[in-house]
Structures are given as C-alpha cells and as structure tokens.
Structure 1
Amino acid sequence: MRRSGPVRALLAAAAAAAVSAGLVVAGGGTAQAAAPASRAPMPAHVVAPYYETYNGGSPAALAAQSHNTYLTLAFLQTPAAGSCTATWNGDPTTPVSKSVYGKDIAALQSRGGDAIPSFGGYAADSTGTDIADSCTDVQSIAKVYESLVTTYGVTRIDLDVEVDALSDTAGIDRRNKAVALVEEWAQRTHRTVQFSYTLPSTTSGLGATGLAVLQNAVANHARVDVVNIMTFDYYDGAAHEMATDTETAAAGLHAQLAALYPSVPSARLWGRIGVTEMPGIDDYGPAETFTTADAATVEHWAAAKGINTLSFWALQRDNGGCPGTTGAGVCSGVAQSDWFFSHTFEAFAHPAWHWDNGRSTGPAHKSAPHQVGRGRRM
C-alpha cells in the first residue's frame, strides 16, 4: 500500500468445520499461557479494513466508531535493512509486545473480532525492510511470525508484497519457507495460523511477479489461505470503472489459482480470494475513483461469489472531509458520510442483514448511510 510517514486449541468440531470450508487449520491440544490457542479461525466472510498504525490513535476505538470488528493493522517492518527484528512501523520503540496494541487487539477479540497484523507495505518493500527481505535467516523470520501469534493470540498474518519486494527472489523464497515452518509449528502446538498474501493487481489478475510469489509458495509447500489483491493504483493511464475492474481482476486471479491448485473446486478458490479497495480517489487520481455506488456493487458481487475478505485502504480515509482531493491519507476525496464504506461493506459479513431506505436491520447500528448500487454496470 502507498502510505506517508515511517513507516485457541481448536475444538474438534471447529476444526472439522474449518476443513470442510476449505481451510487447513491446526486442531486439538491444550491452551498455553502465553496466548490462548483455542481461538477459532476467522469466519468464511470477513470485512477487515486496513488501519494505518503509523498515524497513531487507537485501532479498537476507531473500529468501534465505524462498526468494524476486524482490522488489518499495517505495518510491521524492520528498523533497518539487515535486521531480523520486526517492529511496528520499523520503530524500535514499538516492538511486538502486549504493551503495544495488546489492549486494542484484545478489545477487538472481546467483541468477537480480531486483528490481522500485516508485514511489508510500500515503504518497507521499497527500502529492504520487510522482514523477509531484510533478514537472511529463515528460522528467524519464522520466529517473528510466530511471535505475533504467541503475543497477541491472532489467527491470521498478512504479507503485503509489492514494488521492489516483488523482484527480490531470495526474499520471496525465504518468506515462503518461513510460512511453511510456521504452519508446521502451528500443527505441532495446536494453534490456528492462516496466511494471506496482499499483492498488486492488474484489471485481469496478478502480474507475472505477483504470480511468481504464489508459484514459489507452492514449491515450498507453504499454504496460502487468502490471496488479497489491491484493486486500485493501476497507474495504466486508462479511465477505470472501478467496480467492474475489481470483478475482472478477481476473475483473472481465480483462473490463476485454478492453474496453481487444479484439484481445488471453483467455489473453494473463490473462498480464498480477498479484495482491497481504496475508497474514493486513489493515488493515481480521478480516473481511478472508487465511488459510493461502486462500494454497493462490489459488496453484492463479493457476497454472490463467496470471496473470503473485503478490505479497503484505509479506515482513516472513510470520511468525506476533502471532496475533490487526490490521494489524501485522511479522507476519501469524494462526497460521503462518515464510515459510508465501512457500513456498506458490513453487510458482506452479515448476509442475513438487508438495507431498507438507508436503514440497516442489523444489530450493529440503528441506521447507516447507504446508497443503492447502480447494479452490474458491465
């Protein structure tokens, strides 16, 4: 993602349900004191906007205001290239510790949600400070990933690989080897650990370098639970209808996953896909504007396809405080009510809910701004 600034044992029934849903998870065993190992895996449909940790504030507080129960916390990186220690935003004063975001993550979990710590991102991936690019010892990388699980009790880790990290073949190989080691560790210690890859996308699927990341994962026997594509910042000079482009990008990814995992049924492949939007005007400019109507269209499409994750970059942008502003970090650049995109995507995680004249029948809030989608516009 582009950004500014420095950047439980599972019960047998739960494990069986997860396997039948197409997720491979650890099951059984006894919880350990360091972090509960009995937390269930994430549900099949999750809304998890990114939260920019480098801008400060309380993730749990903003999640409560916006009615989000899951957040992706971005980012973790090393303080300097060559280091094998990951800290929040690469800041040595914000280590992976219960004293840093521990209360926020526990608050999300107490509400029935969770946090997804994310490694990498644009700043780290362009400076060699993503842990897998920075550290040359696979065991050390794996220990860093494991520390997120033992410290915070989280069940999913996101790996955001873009820009220079996409061409660092040694880093890609180390990262996937570390993922495989963590998955073996989770099996032994009866923990749930999922990994998602967040990758840039074209309007027709992953580019060659992004696909190579997944091909290397297959070669290293690293299970990738979710492939999350960034359906924005195409930078191709074309005019875009962003909802349509999300659908074609995800369809292309589905075809690529089918080639990588030929024995996996189509529906389960859709269940391994995530999409991340940028509300409003993205970094490229007005030609790439994800509108409020696009949000409704994508939510309906995502529910129909049964994808795994809907996300957007970032929660701090989900307001209309700067209409007409391009690529702003604290607002969408389009006219909207506060938390419009959060509230619209919320229905994806609660398929029994429906909207009636802008009012949600769901229990999370009495009313929410909502715009009826223009329907499928392709």
Structure 2
Amino acid sequence: MVAVSAAALAAGATTATGAYASDAPKDARPAAAPAAVAPYLYNGWGDPPDPAEVMRATGVRWFTLAFVLDAGGCDPRWDGDRALTGGVDQQTVDKVRAGGGDIVPSFGGASGAKLEQECADAGALAGAYQKVIDAYGLKAIDIDIEGDAYNDGATQQKTVDALKRIKADNPGIITYVTFPSGQSGPDGSMIDRAADSGLEVDGWTIMPFDFGGEGQNMADLTEQATDGLKNRVKDAYGYSDDEAYRHSGLSSMNGITDVNETVTTGNFEAIEGYAQEHHLARLSFWSVNRDRPCSGAYPNDDTCSGVDQDPWEFSRILAGFTG
C-alpha cells in the first residue's frame, strides 16, 4: 500500500484517480473538504445515498464506510455477509475514488459479530484488518468499538495489540478509534490501555449522543464531552492541550437520535466552529443516509433526519472544516 502521512490526509490528499469529476463549472464546485471530514455511509439497509451526488453538492470527499464484521472464523466481510470486493460496497468505493476522494472502512459498530471479539488473538485480528487494507489499498481505518466489545478489557487489549501490528506493517496508515462517551467525556479505559502499550492513534473519536441530552443544547454537550476526551488523551500521553485536541475527534448523529435528542443544523455549525478552533483530528457523523429531510412524519428508520434541513445540509456544514 502507499504510505500517506497524517499531514497529507489533513490537507485533503486525493487518490491517484485524479481530479473531482463534475458537470458544474470548476469555480462553482464546493471546496474540497479534508480527509478528516468523513461522515458514515452505510450500504446495509434503507436507501443508501449516491456518494457522487453528495460529493458534488457538499465538498465532502471522504466517507467512513460501515461496517466490517465477522462472517465466521475471523473472516472480514461487509456486515459479516457481503464479499469485500465486487459488490455494492466496491461500487461505492469506486464512485468515491472516481470523484477524487477515498473511504475509511469502519470495523465494528453497535451490532453484529465483531472481529474484535471473534478473532482468537491479536495476530488473527490484525490479519483480518490487513485483508481489508490490502483489498482496497487503504490509507485509513476506523475501529468502532462499543457495547460488550468496549466493556471487555481483554477485547480492548486485543484491539490495541492488533493496531500496533497494523501500524508497524503499514507505515503511514491513519488509525481512528471510535467509542462511546458520557456528557463529560469518555472513561479512560481504552485510552490508558493504548498509552500503556505504546500505541498512538491518530484520532480518538467519541460519539457524543445517546447520552441523555434530550431537551438540551447538543452543541454545548458535544463540546463539553470533547473537552473531556481531550483531557483523557492529554493525561494518558503527556500531550499539551493543543496536541491532545489534535489527537481527538468526534462523530455526532444528525437530527433526532435514538434517545430523542435533537441535533440541528445550527448545532452542527457550532460544532464545526469548535472543531476548527481546536484543530480536531476527525469530524464525522452518523450518517449520510440520514442527511435529508423527511417527506412526512419522521419514520425513525435512518433514511432521514427528522429535523428541518436541506438535502445533505449536515454534510455541507462539516465540509467547511479545514483541519
């Protein structure tokens, strides 16, 4: 694989597929967002959007493509079912790369058989990650560890050790670890374990939602939680505040969340400004599938946001982040 530095990704490095393809005049296209802006796109259900349309409309160039799970025997597949290459997920990757962008596969998620739990040891888990890296010549990966996987210390350590091997075998690869948070930030279990093991990741990423924020300002809570993350990272690694922010990131949820919190486009504008102020490592959200207005009542099926918005407005707001 081609090694790409974190600085190059933050500057919006594109793949060798060339310039962004669009019928619009060059000066009319949205400015290209950096690789740090990579909202989740999920082909597993509902009505997945056309990434080329989103790219043309917003300036987003990178997507976090969910989810890689275990098909049995520590075999990585999309949703634990679809082959790594040749299907709809391959088509999505090809469209994104044809537009001058790239993808960050996300391993794990909230449900399904997790490689982090099913693979026997760190070597096997690293081998599963490597299969996906090799299949797509990846520049970045995301490990979304939550629920039982996150709450088990042995699974955390296995994941840390596997990521150490991946970074050693793939110089320059960007690694993100995504995990839950409370309103004051995450617990320090995995961050401390990684620091003690000598693993430095490029972006510790919290999910600041589904944490009791109904009726509250979700931008304020997001900033509060991310400040808490920064403090955890700072304490674990001995970073300065600036260094800790630059190794911290967030992945929000647009619109109405699973526990009836409401994240508005105005909240996203505030979150983008906060991320810009502190030069966060990553700015994402769940999900592009939801980044459109509902045609009627909110169906709660992850095909629309449930709030007042223009199509792809949440993506367009975060695309203003420059790193």
Tell me the TM-score range normalised by the shorter chain.
0.7 to 0.9
**Amino acid across the alignment from 1:281:** I
Q: Secondary structure of the residue that 2:309 maps to in structure 1?
A: coil
Residue of structure 1 equivalent to 2:252: 277
Residues 15 and 329 from structure 1, CA distance in 2 versus in 1: closer, same or farther, beyond 3 angstroms? closer
Identity between Structure 1 and Structure 2 (%):
29
- Pairwise CA RMSD of aligned residues? 2.6
Using the alignment, how far apart are the partners of 1:47 and 1:149 within structure 2?
20
Q: Is the contact made by 1:66 and 1:342 (CA closer than 8 Å) also made in structure 2?
A: no
Moved more, 115-124 or 50-59: 50-59
Q: Is the contact made by 1:69 and 1:114 (CA closer than 8 Å) also made in structure 2?
A: yes
- Deviations, residues 219-278 of structure 1 (Å, cap 9, x unaligned): 3322211111111111x376321000011001111111110011x232222111111111
2:190 pairs with 213, 220, 230, which one? 213
- Deviations, residues 205-226 of structure 1 (Å, cap 9, x unaligned): 103xxx2122222233222111
Q: Is the contact made by 2:179 and 2:207 (CA closer than 8 Å) also made in structure 1?
A: yes
1:310 pairs with 269, 272, 283, which one? 283
Q: Is the contact made by 2:48 and 2:289 (CA closer than 8 Å) also made in structure 1?
A: no
Could you tell me how far 1:95 is from its partner in structure 2? Answer: 2.1
Bigger relative CO (Cα 8 Å, ≥ 6 apart): 2
- Deviations, residues 279-307 of structure 1 (Å, cap 9, x unaligned): 1111101xx10112111111111111111
Task: Compute the TM-score of the two structures, normalised by the length of structure 2.
Answer: 0.84
Unaligned ranges ≥5, structure 1: 1-7, 22-34, 37-42, 352-378
Using the alignment, how far apart are the partners of 2:270 and 2:63 within structure 1?
22
> Counterparts in 2 of 1:211-360, with a 5 A limit?
211-234=188-211, 236=212, 239-262=215-238, 264-285=239-260, 288-321=261-294, 325=298, 327-349=300-322
Residues 278 and 16 from structure 1, CA distance in 2 versus in 1: closer, same or farther, beyond 3 angstroms? closer
Q: Is the contact made by 1:231 and 1:246 (CA closer than 8 Å) also made in structure 2?
A: yes
Q: Is the contact made by 2:293 and 2:309 (CA closer than 8 Å) also made in structure 1?
A: yes
Using the alignment, how far apart are the partners of 2:258 and 2:157 within structure 1?
30
Could you tell me how far 1:327 is from its partner in structure 2? Answer: 4.0
> Counterparts in 2 of 1:83-232, with a 5 A limit?
83-91=73-81, 94-97=82-85, 99=87, 101-124=89-112, 129-187=113-171, 192-207=172-187, 211-232=188-209
Say whether 1:60 aligns with 2:51. Answer: yes
Using the alignment, how far apart are the partners of 1:253 and 1:18 within structure 2?
24
Say whether 1:73 aligns with 2:73. Answer: no
Q: Secondary structure of the residue that 1:175 maps to in structure 2?
A: helix
The count of corresponding residues between Structure 1 and Structure 2 is 301
